[in-house]
Each structure stands twice: as structure tokens, then as C-alpha cells.
């Protein structure tokens, strides 16, 4: 009897234990069965996270979930919703900043053929007939591209051309002209040259304080041939040189009747940068411009940022540093001119320097000992100093081998305001060396 009772009690205890264990297992969260709930929770958190603006997204991250929201199915860490939202916002915000730095927007600037032609003509000294007199006298030529757009109207009778000239130096101005490309006429047989004569009229834009003023009227010689229409507006520009933005208005007339400018090939929609109208200013400055000023304008306002800009550009291009041969221990040569090849592309500057991409600058090197050769063109002071140095080199330092005559080069580049500029920079090439 005692044995049966003991056996019954043991069975009862075993059943209770098994039931309690089964109940505890059912109350624990199961990863496999609650995947949908977890996914719903993550999707709700994603909806609360602010979206990254389209311009700050990385081009390859469109199909990638924001950082921190890609949960592994094997391990789910339960975090309070408020803390998770805050962490996700910080993650998305930091990621947006990172991607914004990695993919900055860069404006692509294409020079007009006219500016390229001017560069080759002026840099080589081969002036053609199309090169105007002001261009031959100028050492700086700046082009400003039109910022205006055509109105969406059935008949385009007037166009407005806008030019931002805030970066223009106002000293030594020589001339100014507006160039507008008239493309191939759509139907050259609709109107013959004997039946009509089309004129283009250029005005200033009317404002609340001033009425529109007629600047120039010129005929279209052949409507079936594309051509750059050139307007000389120097007289007007002399009185408006201190303004920040210029505005011109164009219309076409045929026997007193306004024409649709689109039918003359003046439609501006879909044009490439080098087909857009541009405003050209010719100037000659008395002071010599430093090439360093343009480098500083593109990189910063102090020497440190210029230094960082130079080496950052080189690091981006991953151009290896040139191998410099160690000087031998042989006798030093006398002062003379030696080669110095400058390659703007290796420096990482070909994104804003259009031409030339490389040139020979030369440099001076060598010793200045007594007697100094006459071709080194020494000054009287240099002769005395060299003589004193030959007597006692500890008391008097030697004279230095330096450039005595330098020549300019012409550079076509894109300035900090994204304008294409031709400029002649003085003292860029060593022509001769001497002791000073």
C-alpha cells in the first residue's frame, strides 16, 4: 500500500513539472513565429524616420536600407521604440552628411568655340580677321553665359537674356559684345530674300524706374544659314559697368510685323552650354595679376587652404609624386637656365584650367663665383658681393642665381564664378638667368 501511494505521488509530481516547463516555453518569444510582428515593428520605425532628401542620397544607395534598420533574423535585440527612433534619426542624419560630402554637385562648364579661337589667336600671335581690335589690346577677356529661359507661349516674340557680371573687374575696360547663336532656319523657302528683310532689334529690359531703350538694329542676311549674331554694346556698358546683372531683350521684325523667334532658329530650349548666348568683356589692367590669386579664390583665403587644396587635388587624381634624381657629388655648374616642366593635369587642375595643360617654365640654378661671366648680367652690387665672398665665404654669402628676364603666357581657365576667362599672366617663363 505504501509503495503504491509513493508511486502515485511521484507520477503526480512528474506531470506537474512537465506541464510547468511546457507553459514556460510557450510564454517565451519565438523568433521563427514572430518574424512578421518584428517586421511590422521595423516598418513602423522606418515610417517615423525622416527621409533623406533626394540630392543628398548616394547614387548607389537607393536599394540600401538606412543604417541600423537591417536586423538579423537570428538575433533580434528588443529596444524601446523611442530610443530606436532617436538612434535611427542620428544614423540617417550622419549618413546624409557623409553622402553629401562624397557626392558634391559640380557644374560642368564647356567653353565656347569663340573663346578657344581667341586663346589660340592671341597666345600664338596669329590674329585673324574675326579677332576684333579690342581683343588684340586686351590682356583679360571674360565670358558670361546667358541665364535666361524662353517663355512657354505659342508665339515667342521676345526673349530676355540675363548675365551675372558681379565677378567682373571694372578696371581697364576696352569693349563689350553680346553673341547669340541663330541656328538653321526651319523653313528657308517660306520667305525669299527678295520678298522680305528681317531685322533683329536689341533693347535694354524695362524696369519699374526705366523704360526699355533700343540699343541696336541689324539685318539677318541669310535666314537659311546658322550664324552667331554679334551686338556691340560697349557704349551702353560704359554707363552700366557698376551693375551686378545685365538684361537684354531681343525681337525680330519683318516689314513692321513681329516674328516668332523660334522660326528664326533662336529657340533656347535644349541647347548645350557652348550654344548658349554669351556676353564678352575685353579689358586691360595696369597692375599685373598674380596667378596665385586665382588659385586662392578656388581654394580659400589663406596659404594653409591653398596648400591643402593643391595636395587634395593631387590625392584625388592619385598622381604619383615625380621621382627626383639625387644630385651627384660632382662639381657644381655655373648659373644657367634649366628645364622645369609644369603639368597642370598632374597637379589635378585640369578641371578648371582649359589651356595650356602643360608648359615649360624653366628655372635658374648654379653657383655665382668670381669672376662672373658677362652673359649673366651681374649688377655692380653682385660683382662686389661675389668678390667679397671669394675672399671670405664665412663673412659674405654668395650671390644667388635668379631669373633676370621673364615672359608671359596666356591661360584659358574657368574662374571661381564658373565663367570662362582668357588672361595673360606676366613673369611665367624664365628667359634668362643671372647673379644677383
Annotate 283-342 with DSSP letters as a single string.
E--SSPPPHHHHHHHHH-SSHHHHHHHHHHHHHHHTPPPPPPPPPPSSPPPBSEEE--EE
β-bridge partners, 137: none
As a whole number, mean pLDDT of residues 360-364 equals 96
Tell me, yes or no, whether 147 and 274 share the same domain.
yes
- Classify residue 367 by its DSSP letter: B
The CA distances from residue 419 to 60, 89, 238, 283, 350, in Å, are: 32, 40, 21, 15, 15
pTM higher than the cut 0.75:
no
The SS3 of residue 207 is coil
Tell me, yes or no, whether 264 and 120 share the same domain.
yes
Residue 359 pLDDT greater than 90, yes or no: yes
Q: 58-87: per-residue pLDDT in tens?
A: 333 333 333 332 333 333 333 333 444 444
Tell me, yes or no, whether 178 and 261 share the same domain.
yes
SS (H, E, C) 20-42: HHHHHHHHCCCCCCCHHHHHHHH
Tell me, yes or no, whether 127 and 66 share the same domain.
no
Q: 171-225: per-residue pLDDT in tens?
A: 888 889 999 999 886 555 555 544 468 899 999 998 888 888 899 999 988 777 8
Tell me, yes or no, whether 253 and 350 share the same domain.
no
In a domain, 107, yes or no: no
The owner of cell 624653366 is 362
pLDDT at 405: 94
Tell me, yes or no, whether 91 and 139 share the same domain.
no
Lowest mean pLDDT across 87-91, 176-180, 278-282, 344-348: 87-91
Tell me, yes or no, whether 431 and 354 share the same domain.
yes
From start to end of 183-293, where are the E strands? 198-204, 214-219, 227-232, 245-254, 257-258, 278-283
Work out the angle between the directed axes of helices 303-317 and 291-299 (0-180°, nearest 10).
80
- CATH assignment of the domain containing 219: 2.60.120.970
Residue 426 pLDDT greater than 50, yes or no: yes
Residue 245 and residue 164 in contact, taking contact as beta carbons nearer than 8 Å: yes
How many helices (H) and strands (E) the chain has is answered by: 9, 16
User: Per-residue confidence at 354, pLDDT binned at 50, 70, 90?
Assistant: very high
Tell me, yes or no, whether 217 and 257 share the same domain.
yes
In a domain, 202, yes or no: yes
pLDDT at 130: 58
In a domain, 21, yes or no: no
Domain count, the chain: 3
Tell me, yes or no, whether 213 and 244 share the same domain.
yes
Tell me, yes or no, whether 268 and 129 share the same domain.
yes
Domain ranges, residue 264: 113-283
Q: 110-145: per-residue pLDDT in tens?
A: 899 999 999 998 888 776 655 566 677 888 999 999
In a domain, 5, yes or no: no
Please state, rounded to an integer, the average pLDDT across all residues of the chain. Answer: 73
Tell how far CA 83 is from the center of its chain: 42
All three cell numbers of 273, joined, read 552650354
Tell me, yes or no, whether 429 and 376 share the same domain.
yes
Q: How many residues does the chain have?
A: 436
- CATH assignment of the domain containing 358: 2.10.90.10
Q: Torsions phi, psi of 82, nearest 5?
A: -65, -45
Tell me, yes or no, whether 345 and 382 share the same domain.
yes
CB atoms closer than 10 angstroms to residue 119: 21
Amino acid at each position: 500500500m505504501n509503495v503504491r501511494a509513493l508511486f502515485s505521488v511521484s507520477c503526480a509530481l512528474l506531470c506537474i513539472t512537465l506541464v510547468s516547463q511546457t507553459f514556460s516555453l510557450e510564454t517565451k518569444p519565438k523568433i521563427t513565429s514572430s518574424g512578421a510582428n518584428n517586421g511590422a515593428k521595423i516598418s513602423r520605425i522606418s515610417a517615423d524616420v525622416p527621409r533623406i532628401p533626394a540630392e543628398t542620397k548616394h547614387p548607389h544607395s537607393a536599394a540600401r536600407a538606412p543604417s541600423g534598420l537591417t536586423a538579423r533574423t537570428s538575433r533580434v535585440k528588443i529596444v524601446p521604440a523611442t530610443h530606436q527612433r532617436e538612434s535611427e534619426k542620428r544614423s540617417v542624419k550622419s549618413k546624409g552628411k557623409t553622402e553629401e560630402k562624397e557626392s558634391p554637385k559640380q557644374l560642368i562648364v564647356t567653353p565656347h568655340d569663340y573663346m578657344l579661337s581667341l586663346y589660340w589667336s592671341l597666345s600664338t600671335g596669329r590674329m585673324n580677321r574675326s579677332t576684333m581690335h579690342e581683343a588684340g589690346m586686351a590682356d583679360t577677356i571674360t565670358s558670361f553665359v546667358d541665364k535666361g529661359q524662353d517663355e512657354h507661349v505659342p508665339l515667342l516674340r521676345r526673349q530676355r537674356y540675363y548675365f551675372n557680371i558681379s565677378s567682373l573687374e571694372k578696371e581697364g575696360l576696352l569693349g563689350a559684345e553680346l553673341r547669340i547663336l541663330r541656328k538653321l532656319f526651319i523653313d528657308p523657302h517660306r520667305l525669299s530674300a527678295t520678298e522680305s528683310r528681317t531685322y533683329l532689334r536689341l533693347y535694354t529690359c524695362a524696369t519699374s524706374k526705366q523704360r526699355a531703350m533700343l540699343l541696336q538694329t541689324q539685318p539677318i542676311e541669310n535666314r537659311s544659314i546658322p550664324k552667331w549674331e554679334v551686338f556691340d554694346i560697349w557704349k551702353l556698358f560704359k554707363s552700366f559697368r557698376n551693375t551686378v546683372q545685365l538684361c537684354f531683350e531681343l525681337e525680330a521684325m519683318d516689314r513692321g510685323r513681329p516674328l516668332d523667334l523660334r522660326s528664326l532658329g533662336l529657340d533656347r530650349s535644349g541647347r548645350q552650354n557652348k550654344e548658349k548666348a554669351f556676353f564678352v568683356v575685353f579689358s586691360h589692367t595696369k597692375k599685373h595679376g598674380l596667378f596665385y590669386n586665382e588659385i586662392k579664390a578656388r581654394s580659400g583665403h589663406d596659404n594653409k587652404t591653398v596648400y591643402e587644396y593643391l595636395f587634395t587635388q593631387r590625392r584625388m587624381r592619385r598622381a604619383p609624386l615625380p621621382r627626383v634624381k639625387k644630385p651627384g657629388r660632382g662639381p657644381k655648374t655655373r648659373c644657367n637656365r634649366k628645364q622645369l616642366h609644369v603639368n597642370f593635369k598632374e597637379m589635378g587642375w585640369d578641371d578648371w584650367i582649359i589651356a595650356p595643360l602643360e608648359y615649360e617654365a624653366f628655372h635658374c640654378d648654379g653657383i655665382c663665383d668670381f669672376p662672373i661671366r658677362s652673359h649673366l648680367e651681374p649688377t655692380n652690387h653682385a660683382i662686389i658681393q661675389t668678390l667679397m665672398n671669394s675672399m671670405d665665404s664665412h663673412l659674405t654669402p654668395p650671390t644667388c642665381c635668379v631669373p633676370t628676364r621673364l615672359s608671359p603666357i596666356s591661360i584659358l581657365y574657368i574662374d571661381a564664378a564658373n565663367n570662362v576667362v582668357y588672361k595673360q599672366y606676366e613673369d611665367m617663363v624664365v628667359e634668362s638667368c643671372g647673379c644677383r
